[in-house]
Structure 1
Amino acid sequence: MTLDSLPPDALSSHGEAIPEETFEVEPPYLPDHDALAAVEKYEDRFLDRELSWLRFNQRVLELAENPDLPLLERTRFLAIFTSNLDEFFMVRVAGLKRRIAAGLAVRAASGLMPSEVLDLILRTTRELSERQARLFRDEIVPALRDANIELVRWDDLDRDEQRACKRLFKERVFPVLTPLAVDPAHPFPYISGLSLNLAVLIRNPKTGKEHFARVKVPPIFSRFVPVGNQRFVPLEDVIGEHLKRLFPGMEVLEVHTFRVTRNEDLEVEEDDAENILAALEKELLRRRFGPPVRLEVEESIAPQVLQLLVSELGVSEAEVFRLRGPLDLRGLHDIADLPRAELKYPAFVPVTHPRLAEVESSAPVDVFKAARRNDVLLHHPYDSFATSVQRFLEQAAADPHVLAIKQTLYRTSGDSPIIDALIDAAEAGKQVLVLVEIKARFDEEANIRWARKLEQAGCHVVYGLVGLKTHCKLAMVVRDEPDGIRRYTHIGTGNYNPKTSRMYEDLGLITTNEQIGEDVAHLFNNLSGWSRNASYEQLLVAPDSVRSGLVEQVHREIANHRAGRPARIRLKANSVVDEAVIDALYLASQEGVPVELLVRGICALRPGVPGLSETITVRSVLGRFLEHSRIFWFENAGDPTVWIGSADMMHRNLDRRVEVLVRLPGADSIQVIGELLDLAFAPHVTAWELDSEGCWARNEGATDLQQALIESPRRRR
């Protein structure tokens, strides 16, 4: 159903009946050929998405460079920068190389050819990686030393510390190591992706012949070995110093660390797979053997060793990154976890949402009773996930009046109370349907385990629709009550993951709104059965209606602005890449509609271009929590319409995933979102601002958005 076809008695965003005359407005603005041409004449109107992502990771690095942040938090941002870059190479760079190799040389929306994008990626990444290495060695390590946390190399250890490391090597590390020689009888070994390795050059003293060997640094041990008094030495230093035990009778000439990144994106041909679970398991085994896309080496590596690695791995010179050691700074997470509260953000404990904590009592609030009174708009991590969403599902599992629970799972934690609640519900005889997305990238193996565990408990487990990832965040509880069957629905912007809910900023709505409940019930039927009903009252659902629905809302704002009514567009997302959505925003800007974007990661839109996007501003907030919620605000002639949900403005979200946006049904929820956006876009809030050339500059705002939300009066109450 479109906005034009809403019945006269439909509910407004304030939950009241809308009088019939409200709908007597001109139809939504639809651009004619000339209007579209006015946008399309700007052939360079899209920034490159890959380069925009690198600028996002640069902002993460700038957090590590910020001396005003607590030292261990800066250390953690260095580790996050590394992890981000690893995944970027495993997926995005690997995809580019695959397209180039296949001859699919199609220009990106930015106008660049894949080979041009790859060249720019490698050049930019090299600069950022070198910048990270300098920051670590020249600033972070000395600052940690001043705080009595020392990251040292082997030669910096005293005699007692070296003896302790020798004992550790002998008792624990040595039994695990497997040296792999390279000679005519031993082919060059397979190097697993992201593993840290030692390239060892040894010589036979009798023959004088030199040999190459590879020793993998075991990932089961701590990356930085504690030697006491908060002093740490890299594990590869400990191994490198004791290589004679691995090669007795040989001379160890040189030792160099290196690291390979491989294509680890999965390709499952679902249409041809009789059993998608089995097909994915088979593909997971193949993932480990993906072609290399990057080789990292310490800058001191010997030329002949590097030449051997390049030759055997089949990487180009441009894909070799010579860096200051140590390599692989993901291990800095362990350093950041040290119990040094004075070097971290102040302690933060989420609070129970006021509507779920209205009465002081030792017993938990009845979530069903609270939801019947009012919708509950949750804002994590400020609102506790454990006392809201988790409690909602746990109470549903234990409530004898609950008949059924339906849930989507995209990612969850290792010891998930959500899984436990669903299993308890099934064992109690309730109908439990769980849609597990087993293709969630890098969580595939965990989700396969969850799927099997849920099936064994008696849950109905399905894997969604062929060709689509199910990314929406939905939970529905069907309850038998004195006045009939009632549906309780939760729709969120983030995963049902208790661990990430403490680090990711997300929104969620718990509601008994009948139209929303009816829509979600239809959607679950679509996902578990053969129904293909694509018409919803209060939802926009990809791949059918998210793009078209949002573009229609943008056109309505244009029509309102032309008619002199209030018009404004505010969007918050992780990424804004989709060309159709961006062109619609350009059209709105050309008409004079104010457009504000809050984008954490990729933004392909150019703001502030004369004649194209003069009324568009783009900012980015990064900090303690990962900004993850998606919000779509339309002024709607003074009666704002707000949607929240799981969809980013990217092709994969709008075309190849099941995504859901829900229209917030209550005026109080809309007011909360309005206040949140007012604060996020306030000039005094610290943020990065995007210019028309694709460069981000950090303003010097006095207010940290996330700290302000932690300290907000509602949280304190």
Structure 2
Amino acid sequence: MSVNPGQIPHGDYLPDDRFLDREESWLRFNQRVLELAEDPRLPLLERVRFLSIFATNLDEFFMVRVAGLARRMATGLAVRSASGRQPREVLERTAVVAHELMLRHAKCFHDDLLPALGKHDIEILRWDELAETEQEHLRRLFRERIYPVLTPLVVDSAHPFPYISGLSLNLAVVVRDPDTEARLFARVKVPEVLPRFIEASPNRFTPLEDVIAAHLTQLFNGMEILEHHAFRVTRNQDLEVDEDITEDLLQALEKELLKRRFGPLVRLEVEDTISDEVLELLASEMTVHEREIYRVPGPLDLGGMSAIADLDRSELKYTPFVPSKTALPADGSIFSALRERDVMVHHPYDSFTTSVQRLITEASQDPKVLAIKQTLYRTSGDSPIVEALIEAAENGKQVVVIVEIKARFDESANIKWARKLEDAGCHVVYGFVGLKTHCKLSMVVRQEADGTLRRYCHIGTGNYHPKTARLYEDLGLLTADTEIAEDVTELFNHLTGYSRQVSYRQLLVAPNTLRSGLVLRIEREIGHHRAGRPARIRLKCNSLVDEVLIDACYRASQAGVPVDIWVRGICALRPGVPGLSDTIRVRSILGRFLEHSRVFAFECGGNPEVWFGSADLMHRNLDRRVEALVRVNDIAHRDDLIKLLDKGMAEDTASWRLDGDGVWTRPAEDVPTQDIQTHLMRTRRWRTVDGS
């Protein structure tokens, strides 16, 4: 960031260009993912997995962010971004950066990973590189499994150009009729029901479209194949449902899901070998703007490389890790353990199965449990959490589940679970009109031996998803604390009924009190600093975009308060700008596990206050979702979280560092650093069950 000499920020002056562009910041996050794929220090198949993640991340970015901006521009609703860019400037800059990254992604695949895989006898080959015996094997496979599901669609006066669905891989084929010399265009869709890369022989793969291309004469019998090229389309796949006029949200979403694959086009990917003639035809027929065309070396759709990353080659992967099971005593009731003390779990270092899942499972079987209340935003296809809730309902317990069926890209799965829960007798609620229920809450109501009712709660940062709990870094609090239980009860009543509860004792809840509560605590730190008391702000989140909170951090920095921000993805704040953000440091950590927890710590004059929960610092989280942060009252838990934040920001911890111009850098390879995730895996837990 450059500031004119006469406009150096001071006091409460905040320059207009104080925000980084949100979309470019996200692309720079995905660039960090790509840098992991490029990193020779990582196990080879893990690099392949990061290569795949980059591709699928970028698909979602185009389907949601780019598509949303294009839609707003088309309707005249787009406005200048907080970074000061006009909507068209944002789209043009996004296209430039995305194209650069896609070319870099292809280069990593061809120049780095393919040769490295080959050294370990794993090869991805084009059709002409296969041995004759392999081609013969694939010819038989084509006749038996591929040919029957293919449908070539020709374009002529009687056959209009076919609709190309989102994320489908296709072959553009030009054929000539030897009798009439007429040239015709046809499209062949590459079937999604088959593997992206076909195994020609053990550990030797070829792209599925190459197998199809080698047999085009069987699809166009008697025609001369002149040329063929792979292409791929990305479309707007964000759902639009008017909840104010929709009586049955479930049915409306089901209908909208059917239309998702047919939204407006936002990207056309083509192999760089495509002829100008065919590209012009595709662009014309699908009304593609020049900036929406991405020419890259093939093969396309490298998200399918995840299957290669899944190969059974343990020597090319991370060393297996078994989560700790010491968070709770293995014997005895989980309820008796929680009556004695709060338990904080840190996944995946602590087992999700023996802590959070155990709470719901034991509750479903315990005859003294009267009721279970639960939020579900995302869960696995064979969710033991859902099965436990169904069992609880079948055992006569009252079960209330708030299912967020608008969870992006999980809508279909959540509709399925909602119907299954309803069929079992659970009370299923779909949250609020206009808001997504994103908070992670469970509550078990149990009648104790003396006849009193006690509530046991879990408040977390991650979804109730046993599979991602092994891959996502998240925090959770298991507690029988009376005040927290009262807050969670009131929040569930708010979610299921007409309660207008907005203030809580131990929770900050969006959209009512979360942003204001965090801003209030930032302002308090300014007051502590000015009074000469200890003051410091530490934030850990997935994304930092909200201008109100960013400006609060700027004011804290201008007052001299140290501000440490540990962010995984987007950061619109400019750190280290003289007079504006001198005391702000921003770090990002990406690695084996996806950093997902949100933690907020304030020094409070020497008596630190720490919160964690589900909310990121974005408009959607603070204004359009129900989110919850919980105060960490246990001193040992609080200190552990502060140590975690300090470790993440330490100079000797491997991380990316953000400067005021939006550039992320890593320490040079010869600079010794420590991987925080490896450190946590080695230590397993900060404390054992007995607190030592």
In the superposition, the TM-score normalised over structure 2's length comes to 0.96
Secondary structure in structure 2 of the residue aligned to 1:613: coil
Report deviation, 1:226.
0.9
Whole-angstrom CA distance in 1 between matches of 2:676 and 2:90: 34
Whole-angstrom CA distance in 1 between matches of 2:423 and 2:294: 47
Secondary structure in structure 2 of the residue aligned to 1:82: helix
Secondary structure in structure 1 of the residue aligned to 2:256: helix
Matching of residue 136 in structure 1 with residue 104 in structure 2? no
**Contact 1:438 / 1:448 at 8 angstroms: preserved in 2?**
yes
Alignment partner, residue 663 of structure 1: 631
Deviations 1:566-586 (A, max 9, x none): 111000000001011011111
Deviations 1:420-475 (A, max 9, x none): 00000000000000000000000001100100000000000000011000000000
- Over the aligned positions, Cα root-mean-square deviation in angstroms equals 1.2
**Contact 1:39 / 1:583 at 8 angstroms: preserved in 2?**
no
**Contact 1:507 / 1:629 at 8 angstroms: preserved in 2?**
yes
1:65-214 alignment, distance < 5 Å: 65-214=38-187
Report deviation, 1:98.
1.1
Report deviation, 1:374.
1.1
Tell me which stretches of 4 or more aligned residues in structure 1 moved more than 2 Å. Answer: 36-41, 353-357, 713-717
Alignment partner, residue 23 of structure 1: none
Secondary structure in structure 2 of the residue aligned to 1:607: coil
Show structure 1 runs of 5+ residues with no match: 1-35, 358-363
Alignment partner, residue 371 of structure 2: 404
Secondary structure in structure 2 of the residue aligned to 1:355: coil
**Aligned counterpart for 1:617 among listed residues 579, 585, 588:** 585
**Which amino acid in the other structure matches residue 394 of structure 1?**
T
Report deviation, 1:253.
1.2
Secondary structure in structure 1 of the residue aligned to 2:509: strand
Deviations 1:133-189 (A, max 9, x none): 011001110000011101111011111100000010000111111111111111111
**Contact 1:351 / 1:715 at 8 angstroms: preserved in 2?**
no
Deviations 1:477-533 (A, max 9, x none): 000002410000000000000011111000000000111000000010111011111
**Aligned counterpart for 1:642 among listed residues 600, 607, 610:** 610
1:38-57 alignment, distance < 5 Å: 38-57=11-30
**Aligned counterpart for 1:710 among listed residues 673, 681, 689:** 681
Report deviation, 1:713.
5.8
Secondary structure in structure 2 of the residue aligned to 1:714: coil
Matching of residue 229 in structure 1 with residue 202 in structure 2? yes
Whole-angstrom CA distance in 2 between matches of 1:602 and 1:253: 46
Whole-angstrom CA distance in 2 between matches of 1:206 and 1:530: 74
Matching of residue 500 in structure 1 with residue 468 in structure 2? yes
**Which amino acid in the other structure matches residue 159 of structure 1?**
E
Identity of counterpart residues, as a percentage?
Answer: 64
Alignment partner, residue 6 of structure 2: none
**Contact 1:687 / 1:701 at 8 angstroms: preserved in 2?**
no
Report deviation, 1:371.
1.1
Secondary structure in structure 1 of the residue aligned to 2:425: coil
**Which amino acid in the other structure matches residue 295 of structure 1?**
L
Alignment partner, residue 360 of structure 2: 393
**Contact 1:645 / 1:660 at 8 angstroms: preserved in 2?**
yes
**Contact 1:618 / 1:689 at 8 angstroms: preserved in 2?**
yes
Secondary structure in structure 1 of the residue aligned to 2:544: coil
Alignment partner, residue 29 of structure 1: none
**Aligned counterpart for 2:513 among listed residues 531, 538, 545:** 545
Secondary structure in structure 2 of the residue aligned to 1:42: coil
| Alignment length (residue pairs) | 676
Alignment partner, residue 383 of structure 1: 350
CA distance 1:565–1:104, shift in 2 (3 Å): same
Alignment partner, residue 407 of structure 2: 440
Whole-angstrom CA distance in 2 between matches of 1:427 and 1:709: 40
**Contact 1:195 / 1:259 at 8 angstroms: preserved in 2?**
yes
Report deviation, 1:40.
4.6
Matching of residue 272 in structure 1 with residue 245 in structure 2? yes
Matching of residue 596 in structure 1 with residue 564 in structure 2? yes
Report deviation, 1:356.
3.4
Matching of residue 300 in structure 1 with residue 268 in structure 2? no
Whole-angstrom CA distance in 1 between matches of 2:214 and 2:294: 24
1:313-352 alignment, distance < 5 Å: 313-352=286-325
**Which amino acid in the other structure matches residue 420 of structure 1?**
E
CA distance 1:206–1:53, shift in 2 (3 Å): same
Secondary structure in structure 1 of the residue aligned to 2:407: coil
CA distance 1:55–1:116, shift in 2 (3 Å): same
Show structure 2 runs of 5+ residues with no match: 1-8
**Contact 2:324 / 2:685 at 8 angstroms: preserved in 1?**
no
> Which moves more between the two structures, 103-112 or 294-303?
103-112
Secondary structure in structure 2 of the residue aligned to 1:680: helix
Secondary structure in structure 1 of the residue aligned to 2:355: helix
**Aligned counterpart for 1:517 among listed residues 485, 489, 510:** 485
In the superposition, the TM-score normalised over structure 1's length comes to 0.93
Alignment partner, residue 431 of structure 2: 464
**Contact 2:350 / 2:684 at 8 angstroms: preserved in 1?**
no
Whole-angstrom CA distance in 2 between matches of 1:436 and 1:40: 44
Report deviation, 1:318.
1.1
**Aligned counterpart for 1:449 among listed residues 416, 426, 431:** 416
Report deviation, 1:104.
2.5
**Contact 2:327 / 2:343 at 8 angstroms: preserved in 1?**
no
Deviations 1:345-377 (A, max 9, x none): 1111111133334xxxxxx55211111111110
Whole-angstrom CA distance in 1 between matches of 2:366 and 2:273: 64
**Contact 2:540 / 2:598 at 8 angstroms: preserved in 1?**
yes
**Aligned counterpart for 2:656 among listed residues 688, 692, 710:** 688
Deviations 1:293-314 (A, max 9, x none): 0000000111111111101111
